[in-house]
Amino acid sequence: VTAKSIEDLPTPAVVVDLDVLERNIRSMAERALESGVRLRPHAKTHKVLEVGRKQLAAGAPGLTLAKTGEAEIFAAAGFTDLFLAYPIVGEEKARRLLALSDRCDIAVGVDSIDGALSLDRAFRAASRRLGVLLEIDCGLQRTGVLPSEALSVAARIGELPGLRLCGVFTHAGQAYLAENAQAAAAVARTEGDAAVQVAERLREAGHAIGEVSVGSTPTAREGMRVAGVTECRPGTYVYNDASQVSIGSCSPEDCALTIIATVVSVPARDRAVLDAGSKTLSSDPLWPKPGGHGFLVGRVSRIARLNEEHGVIAVAPGESFRVGERVAVLPNHACIVSNLHDQIHAARQGRIEEVWTVAARGAVT
Ligand SMILES: Cc1ncc(COP(=O)(O)O)c(C=O)c1O
């Protein structure tokens, strides 16, 4: 029997509030338009074709993804403009990208000569060119070349006939350590400045750098405003989550995704247990400071610990829970929750309008 309302769903279940989702999509699209940048949302957050279509309908020219497998799924569904903001490496991936480039515009990240060479071979052999964006490290210390090294790496990439160096990109994930919106805005300016300055230097050296791509959800609004930035790639904004609330990049009312769970045990006055554990909520910490495993909507009590199938609530003084009661949880990190679930229930005012398949779930290669 298909549930018609959130109350009838077997738990745990993931629910997206369509009014909030559509408002989030609209408001980020409006900000991008005002700032004169293209919005290329990172679809890793939802991995859902229907959500991607809503983002394009709101004005995004295309989507960002991380994995070749994700691009294959979105391209097969008719998405024609994709960027893999990830260092794609190896000839097997290059062959798949070559096949993908028959059906859509695809560009990928590079941050090394070896990686670039491994992509070049397949495209050169086919007398084709793959668009690549050089990744810059603006402080996250994850992937990306340091700004000081960008010129020499770009010079080598520029010599490869199978590649076309068409842009630079960076991601200021360090904004997740920012304790308020002002601190995140300062990170956003550093992010934008790093990308714009490298792009300028590469242009002076003769590279045709079109795209200057930045973005995360905490830095999107401010990063878009940096002069010279052409594209922004926030992902989490579409759903938002408890970490975005803690960082100050949204309020709880902006969170579209919740997990509906049932209290299955109240073994002590100060302890209640949900039927949602790490397999449902993920064990990702709250940012910027650890603080339990998601917010219980309308409650002060926190989910203090998780096992795979148990979410253990430390019941706050003055609150109580009863067995059989249903609660809504704002997860710490929406993207990981998407990757844990086959289906998302899309609801408006409590009524389920659609059930979406998380089409690109688990496409990790
Ligand atoms: C390279 C890159 N760009 C964009 C994003 C989107 O950032 P956010 O999830 O903060 O919206 C991510 C997220 O991990 C990313 O790794």
pLDDT in tens, 108-122: 999 999 999 999 999
Nearest to 110 by CA among 45, 70, 69, 158: 158
Using CA atoms in the order 112, 211, 226, 40, what is the torsion angle rounded to 10 degrees?
-100
Confidence (pLDDT) at 3: 77
For ligand 1, atom 2, the nearest C-alpha belongs to 171
140, exposed or middle or buried, with CB in 10 Å at 0-12, 13-18, 19+?
Answer: middle
Confidence (pLDDT) at 170: 98
Q: How far is the CA of 187 from the centre of ligand 1 (A)?
A: 14
pLDDT tens readout for residues 210-254: 999 999 999 999 999 999 999 999 999 999 999 999 999 999 999
Q: What is the CA radius of gyration of the chain?
A: 21
Residue to probe by mutation, ligand 1, list 31, 44, 246, most atoms within 8 Å of CB: 44
Q: How far is the CA of 312 from the centre of ligand 1 (A)?
A: 30
Q: CB neighbours of 309 closer than 8 A, spacing ≥ 6?
A: 275, 277, 279
**Closest approach atom of ligand 1 to CA 234:** 11
Confidence (pLDDT) at 161: 98
For ligand 1, atom 3, the nearest C-alpha belongs to 171
Q: How far is the CA of 179 from the centre of ligand 1 (A)?
A: 18
Parts of the chain with a pLDDT under 50: none
What is the rounded distance in angstroms from the CA atom of residue 255 to the CA atom of residue 220?
Answer: 17
- Tell the residue number behind the tokens 């959800």, with chain if given: 217
Residue 14 contacts residue 354 (beta carbons within 8 Å): no
Q: CB neighbours of 164 closer than 8 A, spacing ≥ 6?
A: 129, 130, 131, 132
Q: How far is the CA of 235 from the centre of ligand 1 (A)?
A: 6
Residue 307 contacts residue 253 (beta carbons within 8 Å): no
Q: Which residues line ligand 1 (CB under 6 A)?
A: 42, 45, 85, 171, 215-217, 233-237
Residue to probe by mutation, ligand 1, list 38, 171, 231, 337, most atoms within 8 Å of CB: 171
Confidence (pLDDT) at 57: 98
Confidence (pLDDT) at 2: 76
Q: How far is the CA of 236 from the centre of ligand 1 (A)?
A: 8
**Closest approach atom of ligand 1 to CA 335:** 9
